[in-house]
Chains A and B, each alone.
Chain A
């Protein structure tokens, strides 16, 4: 069966520090991968999605970037964090090859920028 991992679960970082959040998926090949951010008490904002290795689409201009170095690995990064980068970051995957429309979410990373 497929599983999705995110780490770390929580992170406290000072303003101006770099960021690297990792997401990996097991049990599937060539998934579509997504990064979302959720502000406290709000819905999810799509940040990036990827349909294949090295293919990244950015949804909104921001202080973040994403990379997909391997088929089942999706990384969210920043060179210098801002206070406004605080939030709950969720990775999700979708099995586009199987024509499945549902997304499956990881447990999330709660980032606090101080």
Chain B
């Protein structure tokens, strides 16, 4: 399956620390996106990185993409308690344009 897989499944850190979560996928992609989900809510788009990009920043977020390893990482710097949520990566495969495949997510807990 094309579905991305995040690791770790769960991550618990102190406020102010950095949080890193990883995503791996199986086939060539057009882009990879990271989303955030607060408990019981819809998903919110965080950042998109295209297959020809290697790194992207948005505020406290930094995303990297290594297409040779078929992996991506999301770094949240100087985490806050409000960052507590589940984070998902989603891939749009080259051969399945218009379809998005989500991983099972990383549950981040930031302790105040």
A interface, CB within 8 angstroms of B? 32, 34, 36, 42-46, 49, 51, 59, 88, 90, 92, 94, 96, 101-108, 110
B99 cross-chain contacts in A, Cβ below 8 A: 46, 49, 59
Q: Assuming A44-B88, A90-B42, is B48 touching A102 (CB within 8 A)?
A: yes
- The distance from the CB of B91 to the nearest CB of chain A, in whole angstroms, is 11
Contact size range, B: 20 to 34
- The distance from the CB of A47 to the nearest CB of chain B, in whole angstroms, is 11
A110 cross-chain contacts in B, Cβ below 8 A: 40
Nearest A residue to B45, CB-CB: A102
- The distance from the CB of B12 to the nearest CB of chain A, in whole angstroms, is 16
Per the 8 Å Cβ criterion, residues 63-79 of B in contact with A are none
The answer to whether B101 and A46 touch across the interface, beta carbons within 8 angstroms, is: yes
B interface, CB within 8 angstroms of A? 3, 30-31, 33, 35, 40-45, 48, 50, 88, 90, 92, 98-105
Q: Assuming A101-B30, A101-B31, is B102 touching A44 (CB within 8 A)?
A: yes
Q: Assuming A43-B3, A110-B40, is B102 touching A104 (CB within 8 A)?
A: no
At the interface, is chain B mostly helix, strand, loop or mixed? Answer: strand
The answer to whether A101 and B103 touch across the interface, beta carbons within 8 angstroms, is: no
Docked Cα-Cα span, A103 to B33, in Å, equals 9
Q: Which 6 A-B pairs have the closest CB atoms?
A: A105-B42, A44-B102, A43-B104, A43-B102, A105-B43, A102-B45
Docked Cα-Cα span, A45 to B43, in Å, equals 13
- The distance from the CB of B29 to the nearest CB of chain A, in whole angstroms, is 11
The answer to whether A32 and B42 touch across the interface, beta carbons within 8 angstroms, is: no
The answer to whether B48 and A107 touch across the interface, beta carbons within 8 angstroms, is: no
The answer to whether A101 and B102 touch across the interface, beta carbons within 8 angstroms, is: no
Nearest B residue to A96, CB-CB: B98
Docked Cα-Cα span, A49 to B90, in Å, equals 15
- The distance from the CB of B3 to the nearest CB of chain A, in whole angstroms, is 7
The answer to whether B98 and A103 touch across the interface, beta carbons within 8 angstroms, is: no
The answer to whether B31 and A107 touch across the interface, beta carbons within 8 angstroms, is: no
Nearest B residue to A102, CB-CB: B45
